[in-house]
A and B are shown apart, each in its own frame.
Chain A
Amino acid sequence: MNDQRKGDHAEPTTHFGYKNVPESQKAAKVAEVFHSVAAKYDLMNDVLSGGMHRLWKRFTIELSGVRPGNRVLDIAGGTGDLAAKFSRLVGPTGQVVLADINESMLKVGRDRLLDRGVAGNIEFVQADAEKLPFPDNHFDCVTIAFGLRNVTHKEDALRSMLRVLKPGGRLLVLEFSKPTNAFMSKAYDAYSFAFMPLAGKLITNDAESYRYLAESIRMHPDQETLKAMMVGAGFDRVTYHNMTSGIVALHRGIKP
């Protein structure tokens, strides 16, 4: 939705943080960021969110309505926090698919889950959210946590998620959003652009990736825009819940 086209013959561009890059380059640039941070991804999440990301994910699980025997797809599943919980909930008769476009993240997630003994009902698939390699009407629940803002064509990804969901199935999008009060917004800006790159430099020796993280959050659609995008993609009964004063929002839509 932020795509820009330069003339008839030029390649369309999209945002990568605050920069505009040709669409064909965004996925590779996002991949570079995640290759760089994959090894210390969990540690950085804890440091940067003060552990809050665990509570945001907990709430996502609570709203998922996942039951034993369900099929769940966790897109951009990263290091497998949500997938591990879903694996417990669906039990041996269910199935969880952890999908991520990034090979390094998927490898870290797979190793981490296997080390924790999470196995048997979980599969790992390297897949692009815009072109999900699964049959139509296949999953009871699809989640994407902190992944949608990195997708080049968000509408295509939402339509792809709708396609693989069963009728009545639910999509949960957990993503950074727009703070709901002015004071929090200012404090959050100062935190994002001063502390986050510094923490990235100190812990992963990579300030740029965390500058991209802060910028990509600002470029991501706000709560109402994302809701409209989900409705536009064909989801029904779309609602969202703001968490931590709107720093993060959980959108939920049902496939009609």
Chain B
Amino acid sequence: MLLAGLLASVEHGLNRVLRMDSTALPRLAALEGKVIAIDCRQPSVRLFILPDEEGLMLAAHWEGEVDCTLRAPAGSLVQLALASDKNAVLHSPQVQLHGDSAVLLDLFGVLQDLELDWEYELSRWLGPVPTALLAGHLRLRARWTREGLARFSQNLSEYLAEEARTLVGQREAEAAFRELDSLKLDIERLEARVQRLARSLDTSDNA
């Protein structure tokens, strides 16, 4: 019952968010009737997602047929939720996908493309003029924070890689990896040659 209560709250919140995007619900309507099972291995939790034109329905049990099952540990699921390149996470060895993967990818597509019209929601409570003032202020602050964080991140990485030499720079690391790859290939070639030589020595001894 606790899980059911939690899912009901999450579902309610999620559907409110989905309603703030004008394209999300029509796109989810195309997935109506599909059932996606998310099977988290560690910790062991099973969750069912049923999209339709009113949003998402979340369930802890489902007796009907499932169209797509995604099985992964919690870490990979979080990674999947946050990553922009979901295909890379889906192809990792910890993640197993059964059934119609297009359903899952379509759902991820809808969630990834969300553009929330939060100003409309805010204007319902505050009115149009205060909303416009507040939104302008918030947008300015958000841009300033984003740019500040980007600058800080760049400065920090440059300091650590170039000045303090605590970390290896991106290009340096890539060059080292390339050398390692080439060394690995050389060793494999050498190993193959040695084996061939050993085989030819064996055949000449037998003759």
Contact = CB atoms under 8 A, between A and B. Distances in A.
Interface string B55-89: 00101111111000000000000000000000000
B32 interface: yes
A67 B57 contact: no
A243 interface: yes
Chain B interface helix/strand/loop/mixed: loop
Nearest to B32: A91
Nearest to A241: B61
Interface stretch (A52-60, A102-110, A154-162, A173-181): A52-60
Contacts of B59: 58, 61-62
Interface in B25-56: 32-33, 48, 50, 52, 54
Contacts of A64: 63
Contacts of B57: 88
A66 interface: yes
Contacts of A54: 8
Contacts of A63: 61, 63
A124 to B, nearest CB: 21
Nearest to A54: B8
A133 to B, nearest CB: 28
A232 interface: no
A88 B53 CA distance: 9
Contact of A62 (B1, B33, B62): B62
B32 A55 contact: no
B64 A55 contact: no
Q: How large is the interface on B (under 10, 10 to 19, 20 to 34, 35 or more residues)?
A: 10 to 19
Nearest to B11: A58
A65 interface: yes
B4 interface: yes
A45 interface: no
A88 B4 contact: no
Interface residues of A, number: 18
A63 B64 CA distance: 8
B65 A62 contact: no
Contacts of A168: none
Contacts of A52: 1
Contacts of B63: 62-65
Interface string A57-81: 0110111111110000000000000
A25 interface: no
Given A63-B63, A66-B64, A88-B57, A244 B1 contact: yes
A63 B61 CA distance: 7
29 contacts: A52-B1, A54-B8, A55-B1, A55-B5, A55-B8, A58-B4, A59-B1, A59-B4, A61-B59, A62-B48, A62-B59, A62-B60, A62-B63, A63-B61, A63-B63, A64-B63, A65-B63, A66-B64, A67-B64, A68-B32, A68-B33, A88-B52, A88-B54, A89-B50, A91-B32, A91-B33, A91-B52, A243-B1, A244-B1
Interface of A: 52, 54-55, 58-59, 61-68, 88-89, 91, 243-244
Given A58-B59, A88-B52, A91-B32, 20 more contacts: A52-B1, A54-B8, A55-B1, A59-B4, A59-B61, A61-B59, A62-B48, A62-B61, A65-B62, A65-B63, A65-B64, A66-B64, A67-B33, A67-B64, A68-B32, A68-B33, A89-B50, A91-B52, A243-B1, A244-B1
